[in-house]
Amino acid sequence: MLTVAVTGATGAQGGATTRALLAAGHQVRALTHRPDSPAADALRSLGAQVRHADFDDRPSLEAALTGADSLFAVTTPFGTDTATEVRQGTTLVDAAAEVDIRHIVFTSAAHADRGTGVPHYESKHLIEQHLRAAGVPWTVIAPAAFMDNYTSGWTLDGLRDGTFAWPMPADRPLTLIPAADIGAFAALALQRHDEFTGLRIDIASDKRTPGQMAEILATAIGLPVAHQEVPLAYVRTRSADLAAMFEYFTTAGLDVDVTGLRRDYPEVNWHSFTDWAVAQDWPTLLSHTPTPQ
């Protein structure tokens, strides 16, 4: 049995990893800067140990990590900026190295090592480079586009009006993955650390065009849904970072070997976009108040 420290445990990727590890019989230390939050209480109810940790407070990280076997590390620039993400990510890696964590699984982004020019991909690549040099056995898993993002933000707002608003042409394929599959793959890498140490693996569970996604969503929701291409110029007014990402999706493309992953790691129980879409509680999601514009 492993004791795994999980950052971002109250978020999508960390939460999915926590659940997968607990289901496999391992101990999880859920690291959060808000240990008294409802999300932290939910993790306790699943059997996780909740520990206070702050990315900007290295002693708190070292205290929370001491005695753990492994670390699942997730970082984000959203809510701060990419410079903060890099600083916090390198601090986390250094804290883990200081307390002799035996294996770090860092979740990055597919193609982040390919010079995409996407700011939040480049920041993750800098953390990857620091991780490789830290002297701790490491694995990088790099998820494709998140299916779960379609249940929030402008995409969910559009679905309320029967529109799948997405900043890509209807016929341009995109590789996709739900948080549950990221968590399952992370748990696999943590449990089979000898096999995964030193590997960087782009991961995705399906490949669909926006046109196909609109059709699948229409079936899952039970209402007509039509794809509408959101202009990149509009996205750029909201976020230059996200606009750069969607431009990369459309031009270079986010290619991941979905077939090979399904063949080599069947125990992940990969979910297709259809699997994911039909499992969502669309009546509840669509009934909520739209996001303010």
- Written as tens digits, the pLDDT of the chain (293 aa) is 999 999 999 899 999 999 999 999 999 999 998 888 998 999 999 999 999 998 889 999 999 999 999 999 999 877 778 899 999 999 999 999 999 999 999 999 999 999 999 999 999 999 999 999 999 999 999 999 999 999 988 899 999 999 999 999 999 999 999 999 999 999 999 999 999 999 999 999 999 999 999 999 999 999 999 999 999 999 999 999 999 999 999 999 999 999 999 999 999 999 999 999 999 999 999 987 654 44
Which strand (E) or helix (H) includes residue 193? helix 193-196
pLDDT tens-digit profile of 152-173? Answer: 888 999 999 999 999 999 999 9
Q: What three-state secondary structure class fits 148?
A: helix
CB 29 within 8 A of CB 49: yes
Q: What three-state secondary structure class fits 146?
A: strand
Of 2, 53, 49, nearest in space to 186 by CA: 2
CA angle 94, 195, 74 (to 5 degrees): 35
Per-position DSSP letters for 14-75, written without gaps between them: HHHHHHHHHHTT-EEEEEES-TTSHHHHHHHHHTPEEEE-BTTBHHHHHHHHTT-SEEEEE-
- Give pTM, 2 decimals: 0.95
